[in-house]
Amino acid sequence: MCPTTHVLEICNFGLIGALPLIFFKRGKLTGMWAVTAAPFFLSFLSNVAGGLGLVPTLLDMSPAGAAILSGAAVPAFAGSMTLIGLTLGAHRIPLALWHQLDDAPVHIVTWGPYASVRHPFYVSFILALIGSFLSSPNIGAIGALLYGVTMMNITAVREERRLLQSDLGAEYGEYLARTGRFAPRWPAPKSIAP
């Protein structure tokens, strides 16, 4: 991994790790939080182990091939950090991160990155895991990526179900119909004027 990519990875995972301290509402750590956060720790640790030669890479490639993959990680890390910033800017109040069962939704954010996808934080987290795999394609990084995508999807489905069952259910149902979970819907559904 080139030094620039390594610095970007550290910054990206550091930003993700700082979100509970700088943005999200306080709560108690739950088992679900730990299960959801695990792929980020695993991915970062597998890349450190890979850099030390403790974990073999999945691809046997030339230094030029490794440099190309490492270079491909740069837009993933930069995109992840940019999307985190845009998502933070779209919020008027902090969100609950801790998977608290008693945390009822109070409003729905449908502007900024949320105009295109329902879970831009999760998209940014997945981009970080993709960048981590590209920067060090080892068994731990691919496992963390697959596990992370699975956990983000499980968590998103759970959150969507809670929103649909809340007082905001009708509004959220309309929003759900016009946006994708992790990728924009193409073509975007036409909105019907009242």
Q: Which pLDDT score is estimated for 194?
A: 42
Tens-digit pLDDT string for the chain (194 aa): 577 888 899 999 999 988 887 887 776 777 887 888 899 999 989 988 887 888 878 776 777 877 888 889 999 999 999 999 999 999 887 776 555 666 667 788 999 999 999 999 999 999 999 999 998 888 999 999 999 999 999 989 988 998 898 888 999 999 999 999 999 987 655 554 44
Cβ atoms within 10 Å of 4's Cβ, excluding its own: 13
Q: Which pLDDT score is estimated for 1?
A: 59
Q: Which pLDDT score is estimated for 193?
A: 42
Tokens found for residue 85 = 């910033």
Quote the pTM value: 0.88
CB 65 within 8 A of CB 72: no
Residues in CB range of 152: below 8 A, 6 or more apart? 36, 119, 122, 125, 126, 182
Q: Which pLDDT score is estimated for 100?
A: 63
Task: Report d(CA 29, CA 188) in Å as an integer.
Answer: 37
- The full set of domains in the chain, from first to last, is 3-178 (1.20.120.1630)
Task: Report d(CA 135, CA 1) in Å as an integer.
Answer: 6
CB 44 within 8 A of CB 13: yes
Residues in CB range of 28: below 8 A, 6 or more apart? 98, 100
